């Protein structure tokens, strides 16, 4: 097993070869030498301690989108979004060009949410498309 001290002394080519050996594929081309060293050091330490816990592995898989739920449903032209804000109902229509609201065409839901509230909002969150309660 490679030691942390050895990882510190390896040049980029050696780090790439070690990555291939430990992780079974080539490292990202844009990853710096320091980045390669950090990932490899983490991997060596994890293996020395018996591997990653199931909880940590599950968090990593969620972070990269493995079996993760979609962040928001796809919007199709012709759809409508309804949101009440301060007693006023707002209807946004989904069009091929973006979104239609109050007679104007908008490129993003976030811009509409900002107009409605006067504050920065995530448009999908404001209109309840991210699955969070209370939007």
Distance of CA 112 to the CA centre of its chain: 23
pLDDT of residue 53: 84
| Eight-state DSSP code of residue 2 | -
pLDDT of residue 133: 54
| Tens digit of each residue's pLDDT, the chain (135 residues) | 789 999 999 999 999 999 999 999 999 989 999 999 999 999 999 888 888 888 888 888 888 765 545 545 578 889 999 999 999 999 999 998 899 999 999 999 999 999 999 999 999 999 988 765 544
pLDDT of residue 76: 86
Q: Which strands make up the sheet holding 104-106, listed edge to edge? A: 80-85, 88-95, 98-101, 104-106
> What's the pLDDT tens digit per position in 55-83?
888 888 888 765 545 545 578 889 999 99
Domain boundaries, the chain: 4-64, 80-126
pLDDT of residue 135: 45
pLDDT of residue 129: 86
Reduced 3-state DSSP string for 48-72: HCCCCCHHHHHHHHHHHCCCCCCCC
The helix or strand, by DSSP H or E, that contains position 5, with its residue range, turns out to be helix 4-9
Helix axes 33-48, 12-23, angle to 10 degrees: 40
């Amino acid at each position: 097993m490679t030691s942390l001290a050895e990882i510190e002394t390896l040049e980029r080519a050696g780090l790439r070869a070690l990555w291939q050996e430990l992780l079974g594929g080539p490292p990202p081309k844009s990853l710096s030498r320091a980045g390669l060293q950090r990932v490899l050091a983490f991997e060596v330490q994890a293996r020395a301690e018996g591997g990653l816990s199931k909880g940590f592995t599950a968090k990593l898989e969620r972070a990269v989108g493995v079996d993760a739920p979609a962040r928001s449903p796809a919007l199709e032209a012709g759809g409508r979004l309804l949101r009440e804000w301060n007693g006023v109902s707002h209807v946004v229509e989904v069009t091929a060009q973006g979104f239609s609201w109050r007679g104007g065409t908008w490129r993003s839901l976030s811009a509409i949410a900002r107009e409605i509230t006067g504050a920065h909002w995530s448009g999908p969150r404001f209109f309840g498309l991210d699955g969070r309660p209370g939007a």
